[in-house]
Amino acid sequence: MVILIKKKKSKKKVNTNRWVNLRLIFFGTIVTLAFFVVVGHLVILQFVQGKELSEKAYKQQVKNQIISPTRGTIYDSKGEILAQSISVDTVSLNPGKVTYLNSKKVPDDVIATGISNIFDITYDEMMENLKSDKSVIVIAKKVETKKVDELKKWMSENNISAGINIDEDSKRYYPFNNLASNLIGFCGTDNAGQTGLEERWNNILTGTAGKVVTATDVAGNAISDEDEQYVPSENGSNIYLTIDSTIQSIAEKYLEQVVKENSTSTGGNVIIMNPQNGEILAMATYPNYNLNEPSNFVYTGYSEEEWNSLEKTDKSAALLNLWKNKAVSDVYEPGSTFKLITAAVGLEEGLVEKDKAGDFYCSGSYLVSPEEPPIACWRSYNPHGSQTLREALCNSCNPAFMQLGQRIGARTLYKYFDAFGLFDVVGNDIAKAYPGKFHELEKIASVELATTSFGQRFTISPLQLITAVSAICNDGVLVKPKIVKQIENTDTGSIEVVETEKVRQVISKKTASDVKDMMQSVVEEGTGRQAKIEGYSIGGKSGTSEPTIANQSDGYVASFIAISPIENTQVVCLVAVYGLQEHVDHQGGQIAGPIAHKILSQVLPILGITSSTTPETEKEQINEEKLISVPNVKGQNISEANSKLQSLGFNVKYPDGIDINNATVFEQVPKPGATLTKDSIICLYSSGEEPRTKVEVPNIKEMPVDKATNILRAKNLNIRIEGTKGIVSTQEPTYETEVEEGTIIDVVIKEKLTDAQ
């Protein structure tokens, strides 16, 4: 029995050892496998993902603080600010983390009520934001100081210490609102240029962001580190335009006037250029818009009801069309203004003389192809008969220029079109530009040659036309148009002057002189008589282009291009009015010619281009100029009051968007009984609630009367003069005073004493 018991115990011990060994093997295998997994993972981390993980670790341990650069300012040629960045703030919220000073959470309804009372957000929207699982939500961007102060006061009153953030930002601001809006363009919420010069010169204006690189602990707090890196920002450069804001305002004023008076469907353009250096002094488009609120529908021509009914895509299309700089980005048929180019080519090639009798004949129409009907002259009812080239230009006779086009031929015409830059992209540094669209040379038949010769059935931009005509006015030398005069590095103060770029000699000085001589005859004797300005030598050419058969709804284009003086020409002015209908007067000489007259009458003295009128004659004009008493039109229908005031020689201004046939005059500026000269401005208002436009009185001291008058009228201000001869010695109100449009500025003029006197 004893022996048997011992054997059983021995068997149990063996079984126990076996299980221990198996367990050791199992755990050893697991440990070995784990070891290889860890080693393998370390190999992957080190050699496969090492670079990526190193970058992640760096980002977790290093805090980058971006230093935003200041966007450059846009100035006009005289240093007037047209666009600048001003300090504003961005307000954001950390949902669920808004706390009192004692770290106690602020109730959601308190936050929602307070924020919705300050910013343009509803209580319900704020409650949704507070329940969001996002770490941060932007409540308001581009917040100005007044609102920020209001928010800080509310936070202080409620002892809020965290969760509502105020971060410094900047906002683009345009002091003159609508002035040169289609030219300047605007910035988006990110302060990047979206349209116009803001977009085209964005790289120069933007600058380069800087940063501060700091080591941080686990909580994200900065650790003192000798290796902290500071990369300074490079602020955007300032740009000075060639635009003169006073001349720009004059161009816009009269362009708006002609568009409204003729109820055109698509507005118009005015470009004023110095032909000698290509500097653009004004580039106006109408309709324009307020750069500080570019998406406001009131500038689109739609009523609020119509606008709200539009699809989103239609709204976008309407705004894009409104923002477009049509002087550069749109093309049109130049009509008879283009006859200047055809005449220049004929003279340069020796195929015509300017005063050869009987060189051309107009029977009222001209047959250019037996397969096609004759092409009529605009005066087919009373043909021009036998003409010289000068007479044909004065008469704007299509048959004469068709005959000249046949002499020249398509290939030679196109050679000069190319030399004049009409096939090039002109003004791409101003806005998106396109080359002229002409018939293919190899496909030009007799009809295409004829219509091209007098400026129809091809398209160019207004900027292309004025650039080509400016070459004629610059002794035949083509100069690239220039919009930026100089660039200023705001960090170093260094100035980079944008030099004039002469492209090529297109025609001889003799040919250029002959064409200008004929342009003077057009104003003295031809279709451009309404552009004549007493005391100045003015040249010009009218143009009227008709719509194509397929696009009758586009209407007519009435245009006029004027130059002054004839010798040593210093200014070229192009006026183009689009969308004129057949039942109204649509001739270029009748519509655009008088506008060129009004613009240059004010611009020439500002440019220092002197009149041939003697000082004594000026004195007589001041003494003899009739003063008109402003009548009382309060209570009258605005339409009737407008007609009455205009018949007396006043210019009338009233708020956009009002129904003048049903509105009554509530107030007028200046008051009834004031005595003013012809062309003074009367502002009418139909209620006491309408916003009054205010302007700063410019400094006109030491200026001659005509220049002072033009500068004031460009700002819709009136002048009342005491004295008969000399320059402005005093003005009241003084300059920089804010006054309503229509206000009378009283000036005293006295002779300027010289040392000898």
Over residues 595-642, the pLDDT tens digits come to 999 999 999 999 988 887 644 444 444 444 578 888 888 888 888 898
Q: Check: CB of residue 237 under 8 Å from CB of residue 72.
A: yes
Q: Is the distance from CB of 346 to CB of 403 less than 8 angstroms? A: no
Q: Which two tokens stand for residue 18?
A: 């076996």
Q: How confident is the model at residue 438 (pLDDT cuts 50, 70, 90)?
A: very high
Tens digit of pLDDT for each residue in 633-650?
Answer: 888 888 889 888 988 889
Query: Could you give the C-alpha distances from 430 to 26, 186, 239, 241, 244, in angstroms and in order?
Result: 80, 13, 13, 11, 16
Q: Cα separation of 543 and 554, whole Å?
A: 16
% of the chain beyond a pLDDT of 70: 86
pLDDT in tens, 164-218: 888 777 788 998 999 999 999 999 878 899 999 999 999 999 988 766 555 555 4
Give which of 274, 276, 247 is closest to 78, Cα–Cα.
247
Peptide bond into 435 cis (omega under 30): no
Task: Give 694's pLDDT tier (boundaries 50, 70, 90).
Answer: confident
Instruction: Show Cβ contacts of residue 688 under 8 Å, excluding neighbours closer than 6 positions.
Output: 666, 667
Range among 63-72, 121-130, 387-396 rated most confident: 387-396
Q: What is the mean pLDDT of residues 570-593?
A: 90
Among left, alpha and beta (phi > 0; psi -120 to 50; other), residue 716 is: left
Please report the pLDDT score of residue 212 as a whole number. 55
Residue 221 contacts by C-beta under 8 Å, 6 or more apart in sequence? none
Token duo for residue 275: 């032909």
What is the CA 557 to chain-centroid distance, rounded? 22
Note the pLDDT of residue 160.
Answer: 84
**Long-range pairs, 297-302, Cβ under 8 A, ≥24:** 298/656, 298/657
Q: How confident is the model at residue 565 (pLDDT cuts 50, 70, 90)?
A: very high
- Do 295 and 613 contact (CB within 8 A), yes or no? no
Please list, in sequence order, all residues whose beta carbon lies within 8 angstroms of the beta carbon of residue 404, skipping any fewer than 6 positions away. Answer: 342, 343, 346, 351, 352, 360, 389, 392, 453
Give the residue with greater pLDDT, 146 vs 561. 561
SS3 560: strand
Residues in CB range of 203: below 8 A, 6 or more apart: none
DSSP β-bridge partners for residue 241: 484
What pLDDT score was predicted for residue 309? 93
Model confidence at 220, pLDDT cuts 50, 70, 90, reads: very low
- Helical (H) or strand (E) element with 395: helix 389-395
Pairwise pLDDT comparison (553 vs 317), residue with the higher score: 317
Q: Where are the beta strands (DSSP E) in 408-531?
A: 477-479, 484-488, 495-497, 502-505
pLDDT tens, position by position, 471-512: 999 999 999 999 999 999 988 899 999 999 999 999 999 999
How many other CB atoms are found less than 10 A from the CB of residue 345?
26
Q: Comparing 346 with 747, which gets the higher pLDDT?
A: 346
DSSP string for 79-99:
S-EEEEEEEEEEEEE-TT--E
Average pLDDT, the chain: 86
Which of residues 756 and 217 earns the better pLDDT score?
217
Residue 352 has which token pair? Answer: 């015509």
> Buried b / exposed e across 553-576, counting CB within 10 Å, b at 16+?
ebbbbbbbbbbbbbeebbbbbbbb
Report the b/e string of 685-710 with b at 16+ CB within 10 A: bbeeeeeeeebebbebeebbbbbbbb
**Residue written as tokens 């009409």?**
422
Residue 276 token pair: 């000698």
User: What is the three-class DSSP state of 563?
Assistant: strand
Counting Cα atoms < 13 Å in the Cβ hemisphere of 659 gives: 4
> How large is the greatest C-alpha to C-alpha distance in the chain, in angstroms?
159
Which helix (H) or strand (E) is 575 found in, with range? strand 571-580
The share of the chain scoring above pLDDT 90, in percent, equals 51
CB–CB of 745/735 below 8 Å?
Answer: no
Mean pLDDT, range 671-686, rounded to an integer: 87
Name the pLDDT band for 5 (thresholds 50, 70, 90): very low
Residue 327: Cβ within 10 Å count:
27
Q: Where do the DSSP E strands lie in 29-126?
A: 62-67, 74-75, 81-93, 99-100
C-alpha separations of 649 from 398, 553, 635, 642, 708 in Å: 36, 34, 21, 11, 20
**Residue 558 pLDDT greater than 70, yes or no:** yes
